[in-house]
Amino acid sequence: MSNKPLILITNDDGIQAKGIRSLIEAATAFGDVVIVAPDKPQSGMGHAITVNNVLRLDKSPLFPDLEAYTCSGTPVDCVKLAISEVIKGKPDLLLSGINHGENSASNVLYSGTMSAAVEGAMEDIPSIGFSLLDFDPNADFTGAKWAVKEILSNMANKEFPKSICLNVNIPSISTSEIKGIKICRQARAYWKDNFDKRYDQFGKPYYWLTGDFNRSDRSEDTDIWALDNGYVSIVPTQFDMTAYHAISQINEWGL
């Protein structure tokens, strides 16, 4: 048995993505890596779990020197299967990503990458989701790998807060241009949705979801501000969605 920390790695772009390979390359120096990742892209799956279908778990040939599996389900399924069937216990650290694309602000809710990290937080495993602000399948992950190493080496002797995870976003600029790392709050920024309506060969309509991300909340304590100004953003993220401030107002309804 190794004395190194056991690091579970997953993502939502699928095991074949450049982002997870980059995360594995950056993380292997910090512990023994086990990979359980989706067998296909699972972007936008949020905190979905597979309840009406079965799951497959297969050894992956992609990382022959590591313990690597694909799962037929969502990123959260990957975390649950890894704990129950692969590791048969909790890893010391859970890393998710590196996502091809931004997961700042309210994207945290749609993101399979971040939902895997949130699932880790629910299991009280120190968990971090990493996302690069570049959707390109061949994006340059050099700066993102620097951020992974910087954060992992820095937190090695620190106490990780209980029941939270970190949402790390990395601007798509060269490492030398990155100004530093900022701890932030989730910006109040939204998608203005649009559907691209098209017609199939039978003349019936179908829809592609598109949209514009409204980066309107730019105050200096937000992840949006940090990213727009050349910083890596870290939002500590929790899963109590109670709107505490609204409890007294609704109590006044006299229900």
Site for a second copy in 25-54 (CB under 8 A): 41, 43-52, 54
Rounded CA-CA distance 254/126 in Å is 41
For residue 63, the minimal CB distance to a second copy (Å) is 21
For the record, the structure tokens of 209 come out as 């979801």
Sequence-distant (6+) residues with CB within 8 A of 168 are 97, 128, 129, 130, 131, 147, 151, 232, 233, 234
For residue 130, the minimal CB distance to a second copy (Å) is 14
Of 62, 66, 87, 122, the one binding a second copy (CB under 8 A) is: 122
For residue 204, the minimal CB distance to a second copy (Å) is 8
Residue 117 lies near a second copy (rule: CB under 8 A): no
- Which residues, 163 to 202, sit near a second copy by CB under 8 A? 163-164, 166, 180-181, 183, 185-186, 188, 190, 193-195, 197-198
Our measurement of the distance from residue 241's CA atom to the centroid of its chain's CA atoms, rounded to an integer in Å, reads 18
Contact criterion met (CB below 8 Å) for 200 and 166: no
- Which residues, 150 to 169, sit near a second copy by CB under 8 A? 150-151, 154-155, 158-159, 161, 163-164, 166
For residue 91, the minimal CB distance to a second copy (Å) is 15
From 22-30, 62-70, 106-114, 170-178, span contacting a second copy (CB under 8 A): 106-114
Q: Is the C-alpha dihedral spanning 207, 56, 23, 7 positive or negative?
A: positive
For residue 70, the minimal CB distance to a second copy (Å) is 13
Contact criterion met (CB below 8 Å) for 82 and 103: no
Residue 236 lies near a second copy (rule: CB under 8 A): yes
Alpha helices in 85-172 (DSSP H): 107-110, 112-122, 142-155
For the record, the structure tokens of 169 come out as 């976003």
Residue 131 lies near a second copy (rule: CB under 8 A): no
